[in-house]
Amino acid sequence: MVSKLKDIAGMQDDAVNIFYTGLQAVESNAAVKRYCRLEGNHLFIENKSYDLTRFNNLFIVGAGKATAPMASAIEDILGKRIKTGTINVKYEHVTELSRINQIEAGHPVPDNNGQQGAQAILNLAKDARKDDLVLCLVSGGGSALLPLPFTGLTLKDKQDITKILLSCGATIHEINAIRKHTSMIKGGWLAQAAYPAELVSLILSDVIGDDLDIIASGPTVPDSNTFQDCVQIIKKYNIQKKIPKTIANHIEAGILGKVPETPKPGDPAFDKTHNLIIGSNIEAVIAAKRKAESIGYNTLILSSMIEGETRHVAQVHAAIAKEIIKTGNPLPIPACILSGGETTVTIKGKGLGGRNQEFSLAAAIEIAGEKSIVVLSGGTDGTDGPTNAAGAIADTNTIKRAQALGLDPNHFLLNNNSYNFFEKLGDLLITGPTNTNVMDLRIILVG
Amino acid sequence: MVSKLKDIAGMQDDAVNIFYTGLQAVESNAAVKRYCRLEGNHLFIENKSYDLTRFNNLFIVGAGKATAPMASAIEDILGKRIKTGTINVKYEHVTELSRINQIEAGHPVPDNNGQQGAQAILNLAKDARKDDLVLCLVSGGGSALLPLPFTGLTLKDKQDITKILLSCGATIHEINAIRKHTSMIKGGWLAQAAYPAELVSLILSDVIGDDLDIIASGPTVPDSNTFQDCVQIIKKYNIQKKIPKTIANHIEAGILGKVPETPKPGDPAFDKTHNLIIGSNIEAVIAAKRKAESIGYNTLILSSMIEGETRHVAQVHAAIAKEIIKTGNPLPIPACILSGGETTVTIKGKGLGGRNQEFSLAAAIEIAGEKSIVVLSGGTDGTDGPTNAAGAIADTNTIKRAQALGLDPNHFLLNNNSYNFFEKLGDLLITGPTNTNVMDLRIILVG
């Protein structure tokens, strides 16, 4: 049981333990093994059985930040039955594999390695015949890691538009809509390439609501977006004049029917495709909640689908913590509020940081001087923005400690410089690669 | 009990009933009578007794949107014992009074009537002697309704800086810090004027956390802000070049000690001052929660201290509603999520609306197409922004209905044009004056 007199340091330890428990629940190697097992010649995937004697070849493809450990699990299960395979993973996110080729590629900015790997993956899918089985291993980051610009477009074009969309505050849904319509592998094109082979996609979800056609820009899923949607998104953020001319022309050609629309529901390729989610944010949140309960906290899951501008989302979380202290609503201390999802940062400054570190910084400002509150926000993939941290930990003394060091918290927040703020305080959360990626996990402890 | 099959129309009725129940709990006339009663010659205020035979004169002062019904309650209780009184109220927010003078004044933009009333109130306080009792009736809106620019400043200067601060997204705390330091009546000056008379301030709180020095810019409360804070706020929003030169000079003079700081804790005036909160947002939220429970909803109070940019706060509320539908967290349907506080709108468009209507519009976009969700956001004072509505009601069909009328919800949101959006749909919440003002109340029903 948690004592009501537990100090801030003890609560920080609790927050870290709760976070790691959440991560373990969605570790991707274990997730694959929970859903897949081999019995004799039968591969069971969830409740479906595949008689491997029916198939001539078994191919593995895939991409994502957590795809290497997924591939490792698949090799453990299927061993030499695998003919060959290729996956795209983030630099330094490789593991030891014997039959599946790992291509290290750029993330969050796609690069040439990614493009070469994507082409190899598409070719492998095209080589699959009617009596072949293709297993596709998809996890978050797959969008950036699987770049294959449509004919006439360059990787630079795609990099440029991704940068523009990220910096104007576009949602991941919006960014992916445009990615799919400028790609030859996303938005269902990989499934169409594999047809008429049998295709099973094992998916670790990193998007709000687990929409299949959004995760990794849905390479094996019918696309719900159209070229017309792309036009709307570009209008919404008023970036008509900023985007590369080649992309504008390509979308225009799509509207005019001169470039094919992405595969839509009803395409025969999807009759041979089975998409299965093997891990998602809510599982991490629920596991974290159980851990918090086991060490004595009253718990409340807000939502695993939290979106919105980070600093305002942080204000709402802080308001709940302050209400707990003031009136015991929505639950009494010691309390643990949990939430998941992925917020947005509209970049206005030139600092270094990520949405999780910015969340903790904005929360720190809101809770400064209150009684005991600890805030941990971390990316489950272990990387938050272009930094080596997964997130950061803040508490009701953070601002006081920062000011004692001569740091102006509001200045760091305005400059999107949360990494340098928490680095100076020694309050970064650094996990290294976590072998998973189900968006973010936020833990607010009130003692 | 609510049937799980209750339709959207039934849930809308529930939301409205829950909202009105919240309002009733903080109706200002009733609130005064809960805290004040006369027994013989003794006036009891909460647990303190004032022997009225000890005082030569009893004066009433005050300002705020809900101050007229407070004055009416005081006249009911004290009748002819009142020598005289003056209160500033919003246009058309008057009531029938026999001994207390009501001055109708501008809100949210202060005007000359307000200034004349403020001068009369300050004079009345100055006239009070050692053996007099002054009752001060304070409610939200008091900041705008009690404008008394410091010598050398004009009302126009104060109007200009308020407009600039409102449009750059400054918090009510920040706006009030500057208001106090450019005023001769706010920030404790009224208490200092009344000294050495006995002063009791009855306060209906309209600010986050019920900070006494913030409500109506704290005319009877020591000021925690300094001229130095004003400089920081102006820097934070980078409005150095926008603010009136006279105000910049005044603040500079304050920094240099050429203009007196507002009265600080320790000033003898506050030994003779008793400030008492007689109603606040959490009371409305709790009453609303009880009503929701009584008609069969599972309930959850998020916080009465919600702040932040409205559309992002709405996204968080919508995410919670969607989680309820998807996984039954944080509570099972039929569910009622309640929150209070006051969000901010950074105005970028030229439309008509208020923070509550904008909340409902942003939420409508987020919940479009989901199962049964109803969202009501309303200002407890009955006015939301410069409109005749208190707020608006949205549900999971709102966007579909809007699109059928040819309305583009995102366009209305980008243009801060929520009033015209909901007006066309017939979904405005119109209450008229409510005799209270404890910020906003948001009710999310999930069926």
- Where in chain A do CATH 3.40.1480.10 domains reside? 8-23+282-446
Nearest CA in chain B to A301: B330
Q: Quick check: B192 and B220 in contact, CB under 8 A?
A: no
Of B285, B308, B320, the CB nearest to A312: B308
Q: Which one of A236, A282, A302 has the shortest CB-CB distance to B320?
A: A302
pLDDT recorded at residue A193: 98
Contact A220, A178 (CB under 8 A): no
d(CA B251, CA B238): 16
Burial class of residue B142, CB neighbours in 10 A (0-12, 13-18, 19+): buried
**CB contacts, 8 Å: B303 with chain A:** 316, 319-320, 322-323, 329-330
Chain A residues with beta carbon closer than 8 angstroms to that of B409:
none
Q: Which amino acid is located at B350 in the chain?
A: K
Which residues of chain A does B301 touch, with a Cβ-Cβ cutoff of 8 Å? 323, 329-330
List, by residue range, all CATH 3.40.50.10180 domains of chain B: 28-148+183-225+262-279
A29/chain B closest Cα distance in angstroms: 25
Reply yes or no on whether the pLDDT at B433 is more than 60: yes
Rg (CA), chain B: 23
pLDDT digits (tens, 9 = 90+) for B351-398: 999 999 999 999 999 999 999 999 999 999 999 999 999 999 999 999
Are A305 and B327 inside 8 Å of each other by CB?
A: no
**Band of residue B5 on the pLDDT scale cut at 50, 70, 90:** low
Predicted pLDDT at A213: 87
Contact state of A282 with B329 under an 8 Å Cβ cutoff: yes
Question: Residue A396 is which amino acid?
Answer: T
Residues whose CB falls within 8 Å of the CB of residue A447, separated by 6 or more in sequence, listed in order: A2, A4, A6, A8, A11, A333, A334, A371, A372, A373, A374
pLDDT for B43-64, tens place per residue? 999 989 999 999 999 999 999 9
Closest residue in A to B308 (Cα–Cα): A312
State the pLDDT at residue B202.
Answer: 98
Does this model's pTM top 0.90? My answer is no
Interface of chain A against chain B, CB under 8 Å? 208-209, 236, 282, 285-286, 300-309, 311-313, 315-316, 319-320, 322-323, 326-327, 329-330, 341, 366, 410, 414
Chain B residues with CB-CB distance to A under 8 A? 208-209, 236, 282, 285-286, 300-309, 311-313, 315-316, 319-320, 322-323, 326-327, 329-330, 341, 410, 414
Distance CA B150, CA B258 (A): 13
Interface contact B320-A303, CB threshold 8 A: yes
Instruction: Give pLDDT tens digits for B196-253.
Output: 999 999 999 998 989 898 888 899 999 989 999 999 999 999 999 999 999 999 999 9
Q: Which residue of A has its CA nearest to B409?
A: A236
Task: Kindly give, in sequence order, each residue whose CB lies less than 8 Å from that of residue A181, ignoring residues fewer than 6 positions away.
Answer: A187, A225, A226, A227, A230, A250, A251, A254, A262
CB–CB contact A319 B302 (8 Å): yes
The torsion region of residue B268 among left (phi > 0), alpha (psi -120 to 50) and beta comes to alpha
Tell me which residues of chain A have a pLDDT lower than 70: 1-5
CB neighbour list of residue A109: distance below 8 Å, 6 or more residues apart: A144, A159, A162, A163
**pLDDT the model gives residue B2:** 45
Q: Write down the mean pLDDT value for chain B.
A: 95
Q: B322, A305: Cβ pair inside 8 Å?
A: yes
B8-23+282-446 is a CATH 3.90.1150.10 domain: no
Chain A: closest CA distance from residue B410 (Å) = 8
- With beta carbons less than 8 A apart as the criterion, state whether A376 and A391 touch: yes
Amino acid found at A340: G
Cross-chain Cβ contact B308/A316 below 8 Å: yes
Give me the CATH code for the A28-148+183-225+262-279 domain, please.
Answer: 3.40.50.10180
What confidence score (pLDDT) does residue A1 get? Answer: 45
Question: Which residue of chain A has the CA closest to B320?
Answer: A303
When pLDDT is cut at 50, 70 and 90, the band that residue B1 belongs to is very low
pLDDT recorded at residue A5:
58
